Structure 1
Amino acid sequence: MQDSNPYQAPAAEVRLDQGEVLAERGTRLGAALIDGLIGLAVMTPVMWLGGYWTAVVEATQRGEQVGLGLQAIWMVIGLLVFAAIHAWPLHVGGQTWGKRLLGIRIVTLDGRPVTAARALLARYLPLQAIGGIPCIGALAVLGSLCMIFRQDRRCGHDFVAGTRVVRAR
């Protein structure tokens, strides 16, 4: 009987030309969860004070959904809040708060630190915009995230932005 699993993701520590080591998948997931919790902690009261939750409850009581226009407005607000939360750590070290806490950072393919503008506009904005499309968006985001199981551990948004995530030195 064979002990190895042919479907298991590669477990080797991948070193890059610049001596950098790719961030582990679990560490990237942990950073994303931390960023999500931070976003949730900030956006929940903003959405409550902004009347979004009231609109959702009223629409639900009528047996309807919130209109796409209102959803689009709140998606833009969410992107702006995300940018406000993470602009400084992205500018200083190519990291969101979650990546900073877990010791990983975003770099360009040639190993240079990613700029905040590139990270926000090319890495996060397209994924968030596509994710906002009903039904198809969720599938596209899932496909993008599943790409992390490639040997180079780059997700779809990494390909769009020309980035990768490495351990911080």
Structure 2
Amino acid sequence: MLFPVGRIPMSEENPYATPETDPILATSATGPLELATPSERFFGAFMDGLVGLVVAIPLWIAFYFFGVFSSMAEMGKIGFGFTLLLTVLHFPLYMAIQWKSLKTTGQTIGKKLAKTRIVTMDGRKPEMNDLVFKRYAFVTVLSLVPVAGGVLSLVDALLVFKADRRCLHDMVAGTQVVKFPPGQVIS
């Protein structure tokens, strides 16, 4: 029979079924790590967005005073070129602000406030190259792609609601975001 009649149980026969077990969590020296909740992740990302805004506003003001912004607006050329210029200047400044904290604890300013941190899938602190290029630069470049970038950025953010709570940038970097209670040892 080509199409079986009846109900198919949610098992190996249905690859689209919701997982029936909890995701396997990494462990640290102090025990298993607990995944950060979507609301904790949102709060941390929101705070990091404010840090990014603090970096961007002086750039916009500098563009205005040097005539870059006003002349581009008058010529109607604000678009991808201006966005790319702002990104090329903004990204290194933003990463410089977050660098020390990311390097020592796997936390951004927002993640510190949210009491979360980034770890590898086996619970270790990620390498800086993985964080900068696979996690942050990936999302930044993705967001620059006209139309599709906005859609992919939305999909990236919505993936936090999966059982393993890993977004697209987490999958690319091989990381996950976990709770970081006071007194926890950083491995």
**8 Å contact from structure 1 (residues 95, 104) kept in 2:** yes
* Residue 157 of structure 1: aligned partner: 169
Identical-residue share of aligned pairs (%): 32
> Residues 53 and 148 from structure 1, CA distance in 2 versus in 1: closer, same or farther, beyond 3 angstroms?
farther
* Residue 119 of structure 2: aligned partner: 107
- With normalisation by structure 1, the TM-score equals 0.83
Q: Which of 2, 6, 31 is 2:44 aligned to?
A: 31
**Alignment length, in residue pairs?**
159
- Which residue type is aligned with residue 127 of structure 2? T
> After alignment, is 146-155 or 64-73 more displaced?
64-73
Between structures 1 and 2, the one with greater helix share:
1
Query: What does the per-residue CA deviation read over 1:116-157, in whole Å, with 9 as the maximum and x for residues that have no partner?
Result: 221111101011001012211111111111111100000000
**8 Å contact from structure 2 (residues 98, 109) kept in 1:** yes
Find out whether 1:86 has 2:98 as its counterpart: yes
> After alignment, is 19-28 or 42-51 more displaced?
42-51
SS at structure 2 position matched to 1:66: coil
Aligned equivalents of 1:15, 1:100: Cα separation in 2: 24
* Residue 5 of structure 1: aligned partner: none
Residue 54 of structure 1, CA deviation: 4.8
Aligned equivalents of 2:72, 2:152: Cα separation in 1: 27
> Residues 21 and 115 from structure 1, CA distance in 2 versus in 1: closer, same or farther, beyond 3 angstroms?
same
Superposition RMSD in Å: 2.5
* Residue 156 of structure 2: aligned partner: 144
Residue 52 of structure 1, CA deviation: 8.5
SS at structure 2 position matched to 1:134: coil
> After alignment, is 73-82 or 123-132 more displaced?
73-82
- Which residue type is aligned with residue 16 of structure 1? L
Q: Which of 16, 31, 38 is 2:25 aligned to?
A: 16
**8 Å contact from structure 1 (residues 90, 115) kept in 2:** no
Find out whether 1:134 has 2:146 as its counterpart: yes
Aligned equivalents of 1:52, 1:86: Cα separation in 2: 27
- Which residue type is aligned with residue 38 of structure 2? R
> Residues 81 and 52 from structure 1, CA distance in 2 versus in 1: closer, same or farther, beyond 3 angstroms?
farther
Aligned equivalents of 1:50, 1:115: Cα separation in 2: 34
Aligned equivalents of 1:150, 1:52: Cα separation in 2: 46
